[in-house]
Amino acid sequence: MNYRDLFDLSGKHALVVGAGSGIGRASAAGLADFGAQVICADVHAETAEAAAAEVEGRGGKARAVKIDITQEAQVRDLIGGLPALDVLVSTPSINVRKPLLDITVEEFQRVVDLNLKGSFLVMREAGKRMAAQGKGSLVFFSSIRSQVVEPGQGVYAATKAGTLQMIRALAAELGPQGVRANAVAPGVVETPLTAQIKNQPEWYRAYAEKGALGRWAQPSEMVGAVVYLASDAASFVTGSLLYVDGGWTAVDGRFTPPL
């Protein structure tokens, strides 16, 4: 066996949800670089198209689709209508950074609808598709917040823990059908979701110093985990939470953000 071939995704079809920006966009490019044909899906059509154009500019194969994963029919129609699906990567999330006692029902519902309900809908439809064909890899982005929390992150953390537990359930339920399901737990990554923190130097610096590496991650640094979990290199990996957090969860310490 040539172990390099374990990471080869040639002939694989991947759907990346949230491909318009940040980790999703980097993941789409990375999967394509390893040979996968990629569908770049995002709630914003223009960013999905830009992501697909970037993949093709790198010599890969991609097309763009617009999708709102909180809408059951859209998720069902997209995934059910794909000619093939070997890899599913899902990254979308939103956050409302407020003390739990100050969060309104509307804010709670908005975070839960995307982070948890949306993830569930994508898992369910992709899981059905992959179970029927007897193969596939599901890669969902959870967070270090599924394990550790701080003030202002209660609802977000709950949705990320919920995403992880659904992935674990899928791993148990779909393992006999040859489907693998795993989650990635990033630490602090420079994406549109974390722009609020980057705009406050003290907060940004404190987060950088919390991890063992003393800095934030770039979206590109999540790609290795995605390609690994999507590929045959992870053929015996399922139900796992893969930390890509720069040592955040290994290092003790605390910073109370300005809420």
Phi first, then psi, for residue 61 (nearest 5°) are -115, 130
C-beta separation of 80 from 125 below 8 A: yes
H-type helices in the chain, by residue range? Answer: 22-33, 45-57, 72-80, 105-112, 119-133, 154-174, 195-198, 201-210, 223-230
The one-character DSSP state at 221 is: G
C-beta separation of 65 from 19 below 8 A: no
Which of 3, 156, 204, 228 is flagged as catalytic? Answer: 156
Location of structure tokens 């953390």 = 157
Q: Is 156 a catalytic residue?
A: yes
Q: How far is CA 216 from CA 203, 209, 244, in A?
A: 12, 9, 11
In the chain, count of helices (H) and strands (E)?
9, 7
Catalytic residues: 156
